[in-house]
Structure 1
């Protein structure tokens, strides 16, 4: 690797009003990565079409004989393909040798924009999606988080299962998929290509512009479903089974990605997690835990989510929820110690640096801010903001989110 090449992040070139290319240079990377994101997706799903975005992406790769052949051509060239289905945007992630970036971009564009779906292949993908649903239902952590989101967001798209339900997927017809493709991809309000490589690829914006349709914005803003819950109402969704081990996910809505205090929750997430963490120590004394407690912070466009996940042999809804809620609310009164806060801040900084070196995570972070209409945050400034965070700012932040909306819990 050329030691003279310095990392460069989020260099953006606009192709049209609603289509952009972002380039990253990560010298330490051994592969190049191409991510194509589209705005929308799961945020606009509801109980009758949940799973549409996942099915659309599966059909993008295997929705016809022609699509399957193009996908196989890419894979035979050493390209690895992954589906990205987040709450606010979705797309495909391609890992490729750096020397092949220019070669595969026209092929990717053909796969996305210049091939059709066929009904028999769509039905095949629906069956595969139903199998994936069944498999995921057997994963306690995945299922408890899904139930937690359902409890927290209700009928809103954020509360719908990522893979849909058997009912919703079986009712998606080819015409529905074709409309979703037109609305979310062919005439997308916003499309983002992200190229991350150990070297510069100066011609990528021009190359992308030559191979994708230049559509202006034609889709009006779509309606979304929102649930209104009384504050402090306890919402628990269960999918209990006969096994002795249960997965519990509990938390609350927080600030959206547009709030500049995101790093407070990232610090708090680390402060609460793991063996020896404040939350773990308290819970081990009261509950029959099998593993350490983990805290998570997810930033979304319309609302953030802060939650903890644990495994326990004993699950009693009311008492467990009451105790966990007490743990949360105590964080608004008791500030972290100086040493504990310093450790959490250093780990938060390390986590940020880690994401800069991993292309899929870097792409997700860029996409999150891009579709929220936010500029890229320079890593140096993020580190400065984390380091200067004070303990009373964290307790103030937790006090704000405690009043933001109600708690929820999912148990599997």
Structure 2
């Protein structure tokens, strides 16, 4: 299962360039990754990283917003961006023959955006509508609610989009000062995979990228673990939305492989424990599952489901029983083997995509500073034992480790701390 080697270059501008040639591919995927996301923002400037991402598409020295939108679409390509708590990414996908245009437009938007005052005011309206849409979407809102309960005033506890009040207060000076710090050369990782030549890409990047100069980004400290708690926001919904989260180690911790196996057999598959018990056997939920997210200095094992309001307490009872059983007894050998095979397939199938190759390289650099090939990840997953997963379940999957968030109606009144283990 050999994968082509990755070339890592540190350019004179401070930019880190990662390249994985895939000679048999006719396409390329390239991404400009910014090392800081929304978590480094102060309360007053929350939403700034996301707003700057929007402004990158509103006009540069040589292109207006329409020109940016059409730059790759007219070549059969695609340009997009996203912001999360840890990073911002601008990604492009196109035919290999259009690599020069890909680098040109990515450099143009991330180095030469104008931050036009009229466009800023217009985009404030757009982002406030995005905030309103998130407020109206219970699947988004419940995760914001849980994050606030888990992390409090820490950056991880604030919404990535910011608030209407914080967005309204943004000025061009605020935006450009943040841009100059966040988009410095040493804050950028450029990753590309597909049908390309590393030296050709290096020449293009050095020619087109001229990153701004600003003070270094001030990193926030790791979040301090908070006491397990329950929060229930009652509002008129057809369902009661439940989300639970328990802290885990960070991305760099080698136990992440065992935790991935644990998450997969707990709620990551249709054959998983939660799907089978709560949906298939009890018929209480259409959507139920678990997830695992690793960040630079923490992680989160999460569980989510939507149930009829009158069945919320019963669903939580069954969930608690499943977690208690898994923590006490551990999984079966067959569950562990099935989860490992699923994860192995996910890695290998995922690496067929040039976009996934690009993202894999970038995340390795951002979280560990080194590239570890997919075969290393597969080997680490396959080396996980049933005993290791049992130990991890006993440590991290006990119900009393989970903070509970609920959104929607509940007959008999809102869920209280007394109804969830160890909540205070």
TM-score, with normalisation over the residues of structure 1? 0.87
Cα distance 1:122–1:63, how it changes in 2: closer, same or farther (>3 A)?
Answer: farther
After superposition, the C-alpha distances for 1:149-203 in whole angstroms (9 at most, x for unaligned) are: 2221111111221222212211222211111111101x25421111121344531
Which structure 2 segments of 5+ residues have no match? 408-424
Cα shift at 1:330: 3.4
Cα shift at 1:295: 1.3
Q: Please say if residues 147 and 409 of structure 1, whose CA atoms lie closer than 8 Å, have aligned partners that are also in contact.
A: no
Match of 1:77 among 75, 78, 90: 75
Could you say which residue in structure 2 is the equivalent of 1:267? 261
Cα shift at 1:258: 1.0
Mapping of residues 30-179 of structure 1, within 5 Å? 31-63=27-59, 66-71=63-68, 72-179=70-177
Could you say which residue in structure 1 is the equivalent of 2:201? 204
Larger deviation, residues 245-254 vs 343-352: 245-254
Larger deviation, residues 20-29 vs 49-58: 20-29
Look up the SS of the partner of 2:236 in the other structure: coil
Could you say which residue in structure 2 is the equivalent of 1:376? 371
Cα distance 1:191–1:286, how it changes in 2: closer, same or farther (>3 A)?
Answer: same
1:278 matched to 2:273: yes
Larger deviation, residues 305-314 vs 286-295: 286-295
Q: Please say if residues 287 and 312 of structure 1, whose CA atoms lie closer than 8 Å, have aligned partners that are also in contact.
A: no
1:248 matched to 2:246: no
Match of 1:301 among 271, 296, 305: 296
1:219 matched to 2:216: yes
Q: Please say if residues 147 and 410 of structure 1, whose CA atoms lie closer than 8 Å, have aligned partners that are also in contact.
A: yes
Cα shift at 1:140: 2.4
Could you say which residue in structure 2 is the equivalent of 1:336? 331
Instruction: Determine the C-alpha separation between the residues in 2 that align with 1:118 and 1:315.
Output: 51
Q: Please say if residues 46 and 155 of structure 1, whose CA atoms lie closer than 8 Å, have aligned partners that are also in contact.
A: no
Larger deviation, residues 325-334 vs 169-178: 325-334
Larger deviation, residues 340-349 vs 375-384: 375-384
Cα shift at 1:30: 5.0
Which structure 1 segments of 5+ residues have no match? 1-5
Could you say which residue in structure 1 is the equivalent of 2:410? none
Instruction: Determine the C-alpha separation between the residues in 2 that align with 1:265 and 1:32.
Output: 32
Could you say which residue in structure 1 is the equivalent of 2:417? none
Larger deviation, residues 370-379 vs 317-326: 317-326
Cα shift at 1:17: 7.4
Instruction: Determine the C-alpha separation between the residues in 1 that align with 2:278 and 2:10.
Output: 50
Cα shift at 1:107: 3.3
Cα shift at 1:40: 0.7
Cα distance 1:171–1:316, how it changes in 2: closer, same or farther (>3 A)?
Answer: farther
Instruction: Determine the C-alpha separation between the residues in 2 that align with 1:289 and 1:206.
Output: 57
Cα distance 1:357–1:161, how it changes in 2: closer, same or farther (>3 A)?
Answer: farther
Match of 1:364 among 341, 359, 365: 359
Cα distance 1:194–1:405, how it changes in 2: closer, same or farther (>3 A)?
Answer: farther
Q: Please say if residues 229 and 406 of structure 1, whose CA atoms lie closer than 8 Å, have aligned partners that are also in contact.
A: no
TM-score, with normalisation over the residues of structure 2? 0.85
Cα shift at 1:214: 6.3
Cα shift at 1:279: 2.1
Could you say which residue in structure 1 is the equivalent of 2:182? 184
Instruction: Determine the C-alpha separation between the residues in 1 that align with 2:239 and 2:23.
Output: 44
After superposition, the C-alpha distances for 1:242-301 in whole angstroms (9 at most, x for unaligned) are: 223132211211110110121112212221224342123333599662314211111111
Instruction: Determine the C-alpha separation between the residues in 1 that align with 2:205 and 2:372.
Output: 25
Cα shift at 1:309: 1.4
Instruction: Determine the C-alpha separation between the residues in 1 that align with 2:213 and 2:167.
Output: 31
CA RMSD in angstroms, aligned pairs only? 2.9
Cα distance 1:143–1:361, how it changes in 2: closer, same or farther (>3 A)?
Answer: farther
Instruction: Determine the C-alpha separation between the residues in 1 that align with 2:59 and 2:317.
Output: 48
Cα shift at 1:135: 1.8
Larger deviation, residues 391-400 vs 8-17: 8-17
Look up the SS of the partner of 1:202 in the other structure: helix
Match of 1:12 among 8, 16, 37: 8
